[in-house]
Structure 1
Amino acid sequence: MKNTSERARFAALVLAADRHPGDPVAALGASGCKALTPVNGVPMLHRVVSTLQGSDHITNITLVGPPRALLDRDPFMQALLRRGEVAAVEPAASPAASTWLGLQHIASRPVVVTTADHALLRREIVDYFLEQSGASDCDVTVAVTPLATVLAMFPENKRTAIKLQGGPYCGSNLFAFMTPESQKLAAFWRNIEQQRKNPRKVIASALGFAATLRYLAGRLSLEEAMQRISAAVGVRVGAVVMPFAEAAVDVDSVSDYQLVERTLLQRAST
């Protein structure tokens, strides 16, 4: 293990492009772009960027999407771009392809990747994930949150979860690419991104037949899953189990949007 007193400094990559036309969350805002849709009065992208800027672990921020023309019409983002506090590249055709593109744009490692719809992201969440990632011996770390943790705070929220021993676990839209070799995972991600809402297919793609059977029987542990994925990809992949329910909440739907807005209103009133 690395010395936890050594503070790793991360570049940040924010995936901020719309995945498909006619996104129902994008339709809730005036910009026509999901990332710039306001939640409780503040565009989601503004919230994520401000959170990343508040972390002492983050050195610079790069956006992949939305299109530069939309950013130039947003005074807050335009000012950040003009001052060089944020860089931007045009998005690719998919989240995985955009991640690959962004990693090519950022020469240094480590890089933390998150999404613009992570509207409940807080500095504590970012710092915890980056500190755990920096203390690991992994090429890549992936944030996961126990479904029980999510439901304890958001009992009516429906989240896609992967059934593993000690779980189920929800993805949490935080990825740390620690080494140059970590880009192999971005290529792997491109191959399975269309299956992300079907955990069984993801497991089958990543782990092979025998491990898939163990997964279906509920006997596959998180650690074993990471070991199998590491072997499949050819890099050391580890999971950071997050103690924050909000880490697993992104805004994929109107119901997610309503949940996040309620949560932010409650947070502002306390």
Structure 2
Amino acid sequence: MSKVQTPNKKMDKFVALVLAADRTANDPVANKSGAVCKAFTPICGVPMIIRVLDALEASGMIKAIILCGPPEPALSACPELEQRIERGYVTWISNLDSPSRSANKGLEHIEKDVPVFLTTADHALLTPEIVQYFLCESSKADSDVTVGLVEHENVIAAFPGTKRTVIRLRDGNFCSCNLFAFLNQRGRDLVPFWKRAEDLRKQPWRLVGAILGPIAILLYLLRISTLNQALNAVSSKVGARSRAVIMPNAHAGVDVDKAEDIALVESVLEETTRDKNRI
């Protein structure tokens, strides 16, 4: 594991927007853990949302954190989060009925010229190093918005047997990392595109068709399109330059989306702790 780098002052400028509301009323992760919401699910004894907030703060690249959700009545179930909100370390706002709408609401609370890092509260394996790598690479990209991806083969190599949604393209198979950087106002124009795509996120070929049309479906199914070609098509559709940041760490591609993911991420964190203790 690489050491946390000290970013220069030009890079210390992002506002983090963390989406923390459940997608459904009966979230399987919350049901499995007994937590009032998924974000509060304990992973090795620490609520997921606290792990995410700690990674953001330790990265040295975040100047403010906005937390969208969970609903206000649930906050008392996580005293440590309540304390951070009361002390002004975190700004809480209520969520809306979908991640894209919640993201749009969160962006409205942030000045238009401020770059935004968006992630989710179920990213239990998020580390300062992952945050730093993604934001440093995003800042160097000639882009308005960036999305974090990890190669599927790296995820499978690190976590044999795990099932993740895969985007299959000519130059590789990729998994999303729930890491996004909106680098300017044009980048934020991608959010309406996200609203249209949201319901199809688990069916990539239908997503391609709904957004880019039938020819794009054929190119996708035949695996003719490359990653850059797909992103360029999105860019031309929404009027914002979109680029991918390929993450070298497979941990970036694992969130706690299913009940069985709890055991997976806990085993990873326990192994990481054992490795540190051996040093």
> Does the alignment reach a TM-score above 0.5?
yes
Work out whether 1:243 is the aligned partner of 2:238: no
Q: Deviations over 1:99-143 (max 9, x none)?
A: 111111122520010000000011111111000100112111001
* Separation (CA, whole Å) in 2 of partners of 1:157 and 1:30: 23
Q: SS in structure 2 opposite 1:168?
A: strand
Task: Determine the structure 2 residue equivalent to 1:43.
Answer: 47
CA RMSD of aligned residues (A): 1.4
- The residue number in structure 1 matching 2:145 is 140
Q: 2:206: which partner in 1?
A: 201
Distance in 2 between the 1:144 and 1:176 partners? 12
Q: 1:148 deviation in Å?
A: 0.7
Q: Deviations over 1:145-199 (max 9, x none)?
A: 1101111101111111011122210011000011012221111101110000001
- 1:62 and 2:66 aligned: yes
Question: Does the residue aligned with 2:234 lie in a helix, a strand or coil?
Answer: helix
**Displacement of 1:30:** 4.1
Q: Which moved more, 1:26-35 or 1:112-121?
A: 26-35
Contact 1:165–1:218 (Cα < 8 Å) also in 2: yes
Whole-angstrom CA distance in 1 between matches of 2:98 and 2:18: 13
**Kept after mapping to 1: 8 A contact 2:124/2:265:** yes
Cα deviation, 1:242-263, whole Å, max 9, x if unaligned, reads: 1110111011111111111111
Deviation at 1:211, TM superposition (A): 2.5
Which is worse superposed, 14-23 or 25-34? Answer: 25-34
Gaps of 5+ in 1: none
> 1:105-184, aligned counterparts within 5 Å?
105-108=109-112, 109-184=114-189
The aligned counterpart of 2:95 is 91
In the alignment, which residue of structure 1 is the partner of 2:235? Answer: 230
Whether 1:78 and 2:82 are equivalent positions in the alignment is yes
Aligned to 1:257: 262
Whether the aligned pair in 2 keeps the contact of 1:11 and 1:59 (CA below 8 Å) is: yes
2:233 maps to a residue whose letter is R
What is the SS of the residue equivalent to 1:132? helix
Q: Secondary structure at the match of 2:257?
A: coil
1:74 Cα deviation (Å)? 2.0
Task: Report the Cα offset of residue 8 of structure 1.
Answer: 5.3
Q: 2: CA distance between counterparts of 1:68 and 1:107?
A: 24
CA distance in 1, matches of 2:77, 2:209: 44
Would you say the 8 A contact 1:207–1:225 is kept in 2?
Answer: no
Q: Aligned partner of 1:137: which letter?
A: D
In the superposition, the TM-score normalised over structure 1's length comes to: 0.95
Does the aligned pair in 2 maintain the 1:147–1:161 contact within 8 Å?
A: yes
Q: Is the 8 A contact 1:8 1:134 kept in 2?
A: no
Contact 2:36 2:77 (C-alpha < 8 Å) held by counterparts: no
Report the alpha carbon displacement of residue 80 of structure 1 after superposing the two structures with TM: 0.8
Match of 2:4 in 1: none
Q: Aligned with 2:17: secondary structure?
A: strand
Q: Give the SS at the match of 2:172.
A: coil
2:96 is paired with a residue whose SS is coil
Number of aligned residue pairs: 267
The residue type equivalent to 2:107 in the other structure is: L
Residues 206 and 228 in structure 1, CA contact (< 8 A), matched pair in contact too:
no
* Inter-partner Cα distance in structure 1 for 2:90 and 2:210: 35
Report deviation, 1:9.
1.5
What amino acid is the match of 2:17? Answer: L
Name the amino acid aligned to 2:22: D
Asked if 1:216 is matched to 2:216, the reply is no
